């Protein structure tokens, strides 16, 4: 029960980080690209390390128990790439203008441009599509955080923090166009906040649908898929976004720092 409450709490924390990004966008005239590059790299480092070093082996261990060594190994690999395929298909179905992988800077949306009637409509559409796209992305991330915490809180906590870090610029991506289109901070924050709630919604679905049938086999497949999803998000979303605003290798320093922090946390919590 303690793990269950922690799992829901961490998932809610990670999802609501989009709201933090939304608020930050209202109180700054420029985007701190150096910090953004470092933090996105850090988040990617945490996700990649924990996926390959901890989650993937745990998935294989569970599947070997359920199906034997050979079939278990095959199912682990299939689950891993199946997770990648799932998130890639989600990306494919999202309209290009709402793709959350495009980091939008605050200073790109100055008020003189935003006041143009045509652009106001385009900005509102962009913000709405981005909110929808991020909500769709947050859903499997919620399942990942929830299942990881339920199995091992020492895994769930750093995963939740990494996902929260990368949700902050996603909140900015929603709030900036909506705010300049409508002039309403309330509307921008509300849309950003609601997109973040998709993460605990994913956790709730995992609890209601998957928990009654949880076995070594199902757990192994879910964990392998989670590892694939997190590696794909890191390679497709976080690192390209981090490199886009990288001037002095900060994204790579962040990546290595994320891996070191994740490694130390796992060692200290053994």
Q: Mean of the per-residue pLDDT values for the chain?
A: 80
Q: Which residues are annotated as a binding site for Fe(2+)?
A: 138, 141, 167, 170, 199
What is the model's pLDDT at position 113? 47
Q: What crossing angle do the helices spanning 198-205 and 2-26 adopt, rounded to 10°? A: 160
In terms of average pLDDT, the best of 44-53, 93-102, 121-130, 132-141 is 44-53
When pLDDT is averaged across residues 188-193 and rounded to a whole number, the result is 86
The band of 270, judged by pLDDT with boundaries at 50, 70 and 90, is low
In the numeric block, which tokens belong to residue 106? 């605050």
Convert the pLDDT of each residue in 146-158 to its tens digit: 888 887 887 788 8
What is the model's pLDDT at position 1? 66
Convert the pLDDT of each residue in 114-124 to its tens digit: 454 445 566 67
What is the model's pLDDT at position 30? 57
- Output the CA–CA distances (angstroms, integers) from residue 102 to 74, 127, 132, in the order listed: 35, 12, 14
What is the model's pLDDT at position 117? 42
What is the model's pLDDT at position 79? 96
Q: Which residues are annotated as a binding site for Zn(2+)?
A: 141, 166, 170
What is the model's pLDDT at position 118? 47
pTM over 0.75: no
Q: Which residues are annotated as a binding site?
A: 138, 141, 166-167, 170, 199
Q: Residue 97 pLDDT > 60, yes or no?
A: no
Q: In 10 A of CB 38, how many CB atoms? A: 24
What is the model's pLDDT at position 95? 55
Convert the pLDDT of each residue in 226-245 to its tens digit: 899 889 988 887 888 788 76
What is the model's pLDDT at position 147? 82
pLDDT top residue among 58 and 34 = 58
């Amino acid at each position: 029960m303690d793990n269950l409450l922690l799992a829901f709490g961490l998932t809610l924390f990670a999802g609501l980080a989009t709201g933090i990004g939304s608020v930050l966008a209202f109180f700054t005239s420029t985007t701190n690209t150096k910090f953004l590059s470092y933090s996105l790299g850090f988040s990617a480092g945490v996700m990649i390390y924990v996926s390959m070093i901890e989650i993937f082996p745990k998935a294989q261990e569970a599947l070997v128990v359920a199906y034997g060594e050979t079939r278990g190994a095959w199912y682990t690999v299939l689950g891993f790439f199946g997770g990648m395929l799932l998130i890639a298909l989600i990306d494919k179905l999202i309209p290009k203008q709402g793709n959350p992988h495009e980091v939008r800077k605050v200073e790109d949306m100055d008020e003189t441009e935003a006041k143009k009637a045509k652009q106001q409509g385009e900005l509102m559409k962009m913000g709405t599509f981005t909110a929808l796209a991020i909500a769709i992305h947050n859903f499997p991330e919620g399942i990942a955080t929830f299942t990881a915490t339920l199995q091992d809180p020492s895994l769930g906590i750093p995963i939740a923090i990494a996902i929260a870090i990368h949700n902050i610029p996603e909140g900015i991506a929603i709030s900036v166009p909506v705010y300049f289109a409508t002039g309403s901070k309330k509307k921008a924050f509300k849309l950003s906040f609601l997109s973040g709630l998709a993460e605990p919604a994913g956790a709730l679905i995992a609890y209601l649908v998957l928990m009654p049938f949880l076995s070594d086999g199902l757990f192994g497949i879910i964990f392998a898929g989670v590892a694939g999803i997190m590696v794909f998000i890191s390679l497709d979303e976080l690192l390209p976004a981090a490199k886009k605003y990288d001037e002095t290798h900060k994204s790579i320093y962040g990546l290595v720092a994320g891996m070191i922090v994740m490694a130390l946390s796992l060692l200290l919590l053994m």
